[in-house]
Chains A and B, each alone.
Chain A
Amino acid sequence: MPETIEMLNALTLFSNFVLIPGLAYGSQLALGALGVTLVFGILRFANFAHGDLMAFGTMVTILMTWWLQSLGVSISPLPTALIALPIGIIVTALFAVATDKAVFSFYRLKKSPPVILTIASIGVMFMMNAIVRFIIGPNDQRFYDGEKFLMKAREFKQLTGLDEGLSIRYTQVLTVVVALVVVIALFWFLQRSRTGKAMRAFSDNEDLALLSGINPDRVVLITWIIAAALATIAGVLYGMDKSFKPFTYFQLLLPIFAAAIVGGIGHPVGAVVGGYVVAFSEVMVTYAYKKVFVYVLPEDWQPEGLSQLLSTDYKFAVSFIILVVVLLIKPTGLFKGKVIK
């Protein structure tokens, strides 16, 4: 049946260029958005320094990776960065907690309006940005040293006999697997553990939580540790999948915020869903469907152009168009997020 083959070819093409990259990118955004959403839910401000916290964590991990590589440590086919990751997380968590003690705790105790904390986070963003650029420089760094491909396009063609190839990179599999594990662990923690329940109670109603004897300092401390861990993991996964560049991480702030808000800010499930929504919209809107249509549509229906809705340069624009549309239609996001005055 030639029709089925055509359909399979189109499906492969779609998976190769939209489904798999979108899944990996979405997982990275979801982890980033989870961090933003936790900080927002519990500390009640939009943390503009989150992108730079990601960059910081990734930088520490990269430096550790280089050190381990120089010692000859390797867990091939997995990347060395995976062993370096826990150390990266610890250092970043310490850094985040120190930042909180030095900057944010003052305004929290004074009960300043959230926007003041947001402005303080701009100051933190400047300083973190400077630290990262000062230590590792503003240039591109590649640190992935594991196996490249799980499945090469050529192998897939031979295996299935289709015209289109499907390539799966290890980094993509790794991203999805790690993200899945982290998200499950986090949700278990929030739903089942005592501290997680305390955090959710604190997020829902601060005064009530304080009355029931929840220690706010502890909640804040755990929140920063988790946010730093999520930021580091997200940053390292993104850096392995693409490459590490301080400025790119600063720019990631935009889709991450979009994901958190689209899902409903302060809402962990929403952050994950929002991450995938933003990632898939970015990939789908900027993909040229010409070749897919060639397989699926009859000959005289085929479009002349590339059938690309928007040029790839509008990638960042897409997340914000979604953001604005969601804010207009459903201001609390897809899941009912919180509204903090």
Chain B
Amino acid sequence: MSKFRAPLVFLIMAGMLVFVGVYQSWSVSLSILGMCLISAVMALGVNIQWGYAGLFNAGVMGFTAIGGVAAVLVSYPPVKEAWSAGGGGIGISLLIMLVMSAIIYFSLKLLPKGKLRGLLIFIVLLLGLYVARQFFYPAVSSIESVDSAVSGFLGGMGLPILFSWIVGGVLAAAVAWAIGKVALGLRSDYLAIATLGISEIVIAVIKNEDWLTRGVKNVTGLKRPVPLEAELQQEEWFISLVSRFNESKLAAISDADAKAEMLRSLVIEGSGIFVKLCYAGLFAVVLLIVLALSIRALNSPWGRMMRAIRDNDEAASAMGKDIKKRHLQVFILGSAVIGIAGAMLTTLDGQLTPTSYQPLRFTFLVWVMVIVGGSGNNLGAVFGGFLIWFMWIEAEPIAIVLMSFVTSGMAETSALKSHLIESAPHLRLFLMGLLLLFVLRFSPKGILPEKVRHS
């Protein structure tokens, strides 16, 4: 049974996606699949932190957003006027901050502990911030005034957006290092609250530092790693591909004009599906790489050590394991994976919209995925990502149908009826909560439980 459990649940999942494809539309099914793949990568990231090491990271949203920023910084073409207007000022203020940090770092290292050191650090901090402000704010306002309706920010490096998936991971890892240094000493629920807050800070920075990310004005029209639908529709090879796929359909039509019309609409439909398939393929490659690495890591001596630390940190520490260092390591690794997923998400959207980052959707939903799928088991996390995202999307139409059924006895004009149908989409939050509580209570190890090998 347990041997066939994983293939079976994935088969059922595939069946559900096919069902949506046949009865709703393939376009919907494929966009769900794309997001399922991204969600699975995110869930793997959280699973590395929670499932391997028992770290409660409630800041998933923050790392996702950092990945999104990476997508902008890598792929957007640089805005030359903005660079010449304020790039110098920003550079000088960053340099000052760097020098300041270096002075503080070395005084912490070299000087003896005492009031004098504290005072010195305080003065350096104050002075550094004051001087940096003098360069920073004029630069920012001159950058933001450059053609503010279209750009008003520094732009990026103009590289292909696929690079940003790596950069997103690296950036998220760097931020995770800084956070981990500060917060990882805390108890599990303190860590949760601290990371929840830090992710809120990350979003606040992205919303407000217009010179870097355009803030709430959004960055739209990012480059795409796959062809545009409109261009695809003009390509000779694509049209012939579509006509070969629909040979029987086209052959049934005798009229030449009607045939050409039919072909055109098929090509338009096909181009959308083709693009979504391309995305799904790219995401699947990333997912498989991350999954393969995760499985290898979990089964290696390193993974064994991690589980030992998770299950009994005192015993592991007595065996000479450096718990703080390992926790930091696993926190960075997991965050990097989440960052990669964040960059993938922004790539799929083609835009960065800071207001769309909501903790319920980006932090707690991912947690539901991991807990429901099976924490500690990589395949479980992946399955959780698929299942929960599928339900998150499909719960809405189902809830509306359900509500129309429940209210079918009521009068058409009843205010209660329209209120119930209008509010039906909120039921998906209810469903997610219910699912989490059910799994936690009756099958606390999740749908695909962690394998514990006794030798």
Contact = CB atoms under 8 A, between A and B. Distances in A.
Given A114-B189, A118-B192, A134-B430, A123 B423 contact: no
A162 to B, nearest CB: 33
A328 B190 CA distance: 12
Given A119-B367, A137-B422, 10 more contacts: A46-B189, A103-B437, A116-B440, A120-B440, A123-B437, A130-B433, A133-B423, A314-B204, A320-B198, A324-B182
A131 interface: yes
A119 B441 contact: no
Kindly name the residue among A118, A133, A134 whose own CB sees the greatest number of chain B CB atoms within 10 A: A134
Interface of B: 54, 56, 137, 182-183, 185-190, 192-194, 196-198, 200-201, 204-205, 207-208, 359-360, 364, 367-368, 371, 422-423, 426-434, 436-437, 440-441, 444
A126 B440 contact: no
A123 B197 contact: no
A112 to B, nearest CB: 9
A128 B188 CA distance: 24
A135 B186 CA distance: 38
Interface stretch (A17-25, A207-215, A250-258): A250-258
A328 B182 CA distance: 7
Nearest to B185: A331
Which of B185, B197, B208, B431 counts the most chain A CB atoms within 10 A? B197
A122 B429 CA distance: 11
Interface in A30-77: 45-46
Interface of A: 45-46, 103, 106, 114-116, 118-120, 122-131, 133-135, 137-138, 250, 254, 257-258, 261, 305, 311, 313-314, 316-317, 319-321, 323-324, 327-328, 331, 339-341
A239 B160 CA distance: 48
A267 B197 CA distance: 21
Contacts of B368: 122-123, 126
A320 B201 contact: yes
A257 B359 CA distance: 16
A131 B430 contact: yes
A327 B190 contact: yes
A130 B430 contact: yes
B244 to A, nearest CB: 47
Q: Considering the complex of A and B, which 7 residue pairs feature the smallest CB-CB distances, nearest first? A: A126-B433, A320-B197, A130-B430, A127-B433, A130-B429, A123-B436, A133-B426
A124 B432 CA distance: 10
20 contacts: A46-B192, A115-B188, A115-B189, A116-B444, A118-B188, A118-B189, A122-B436, A124-B437, A126-B432, A127-B434, A129-B429, A130-B433, A133-B429, A250-B360, A254-B196, A305-B137, A313-B208, A316-B200, A316-B201, A324-B182
Contacts of A321: 201
Contact of B427 (A103, A116, A134, A314): A134
A38 to B, nearest CB: 15
B197 A118 contact: no
Most buried by A among B207, B208, B371, B426: B426
Nearest to A253: B196
A340 B183 CA distance: 17
A126 B427 CA distance: 10
Nearest to B196: A254
Contacts of A130: 426-431, 433
A119 B194 CA distance: 16
Contacts of B432: 126
Nearest to A311: B208
Contact of A126 (B201, B364, B441): B364
B398 to A, nearest CB: 14
B183 A324 contact: yes
Nearest to B441: A106
A320 B199 CA distance: 10
Given A134-B426, A339-B187, A123 B200 contact: no
Contacts of B367: 119, 122
Given A130-B433, A314-B208, A119 B440 contact: yes
A181 to B, nearest CB: 29
B440 to A, nearest CB: 6
Contacts of A320: 194, 197-198, 200-201
Contacts of A323: 193-194, 197
B194 A324 contact: yes
A133 B423 CA distance: 7
Contacts of A327: 183, 186, 190, 194
Nearest to B207: A313
Contacts of B434: 123, 127
A241 B6 CA distance: 53
Nearest to A247: B358
Contact of A134 (B182, B423, B441): B423
Contacts of B182: 324, 328
Contacts of B360: 126, 129, 250
B211 to A, nearest CB: 13
Nearest to A132: B426
A319 B197 contact: yes
Contacts of B192: 46, 115, 118
A42 B85 CA distance: 58
A45 B433 contact: no
Contact of B56 (A115, A134, A311, A319): A115
A119 B368 CA distance: 9
A108 to B, nearest CB: 13
Contacts of B190: 261, 327
Given A311-B208, A324-B182, A126 B187 contact: no
B209 to A, nearest CB: 10
A134 B187 CA distance: 35
A103 B137 CA distance: 51
Contacts of A258: 193, 197
A122 B369 CA distance: 12
B186 A331 contact: yes
Contacts of A340: 187
A339 B189 CA distance: 11
Contacts of A261: 190, 193
Most chain A CB inside 10 Å of its own CB: which residue of B56, B428, B437, B444: B437
Given A45-B189, A46-B193, A138 B426 contact: yes
Contacts of A106: 441
A97 B230 CA distance: 58
Nearest to A340: B187
Contact of B204 (A116, A122, A305, A316): A316
Nearest to B367: A122
